[in-house]
Amino acid sequence: MKLSTDISAFAGRLGHDFAKPALLVRALTHPSITTPNRENNQRLEFLGDRVLGLVMAEALFSADKSAAEGVLAPRFNALVRKETCAEVAREIGVGSVLKLGRSEMKTGGRRKDALLADAMEAVIAAVYLDGGFEAARGVILSLWGDRIDRVEEDARDPKTTLQEWAQARGQHPPAYTEMDRDGPDHQPVFTVEVRLQSGDTAEGRAGSKRAAEMAAARALLEKLTT
C-alpha cells in the first residue's frame, strides 16, 4: 500500500518508516468515516493507550529512583492524560491528516482534544504493531521530549493545591463559576471565575471548562503566593 503525500509527510514527522503503511492509515481513520469494509482506529486507540502507559511508567521509574509511588502517580497522569496527548498530536499535525466523516468535519473535529488524543494513541499502537516495542518507545520518548523532564511542574494540579491552601486556613473549598462562553460552537472559549471564602478571586480562559478552571486556580495561587 502506498501512502498519500500528506500521510507520507506525517510519517516522516512521526519518525517511523512503516513496513505496513495500512496500519498508519487505520490509525488515522475516525469511526465517523467508517464503512462496512473499512476499519477505524478505536481498537488501536485501546492498545496505544497501554503502550504509552508502559513507556511513561518505565521512563519515570528510571528517571527518579528514589521517588515513591505517591510521587510517581501524578507525574504519570500528567504525561498520559488526554490533554497532553492532544498537545503532542497538534505539534506533529495529526489533525491535518485525520480521516473524518462529514459530521465531524463540520463541527471542527480536527481541533478537538478528544479526537486528537485518541488518534495519537492509535498512531502509537500502529508503530508498536509495525516495529515492536522498541520502535514505539523511541517514537514516544522523542515526541514527548522535555515534557518528561519538566513533569514535576506539570503534575502539580492547581485546583487541588488551591483547595489545600484554602482548607489549611479554615476556608471552604474554592467555588468555580462559568462567567462566559464565546467563540463558535465547535471551538468555544470558556471564562471561569474562582472565588475563595475570603473574597479573593481570579479568572481563567481556555478551550474547555476544566482547563479554564485550572487556569483560574493557577492565577489565584500566583496572586496569593507572590
Q: Catalytic residue positions?
A: 49, 121
* Cα distances (Å, whole numbers) of residue 7 to 21, 23, 62, 98, 189: 10, 12, 34, 9, 30
DSSP 8-state class, residue 31 = G
Handedness of CA 204, 207, 209, 214 (dihedral sign): negative
Asked whether the beta carbons of 94 and 123 are under 8 A apart, the reply is: yes
C-alpha grid cell, residue 195: 472565588
C-alpha grid cell, residue 98: 485525520
> Which residue type is seen at 97?
V
C-alpha grid cell, residue 27: 490509525
Residue 180 dihedral angles phi and psi, to the nearest 5°: -160, 155
DSSP 8-state class, residue 6 = H
C-alpha grid cell, residue 134: 522498541
DSSP 3-state of 201: strand
Show Cβ contacts of residue 88 under 8 Å, excluding neighbours closer than 6 positions.
120, 143, 144
- Between CA 132 and CA 207 the distance in angstroms is 36
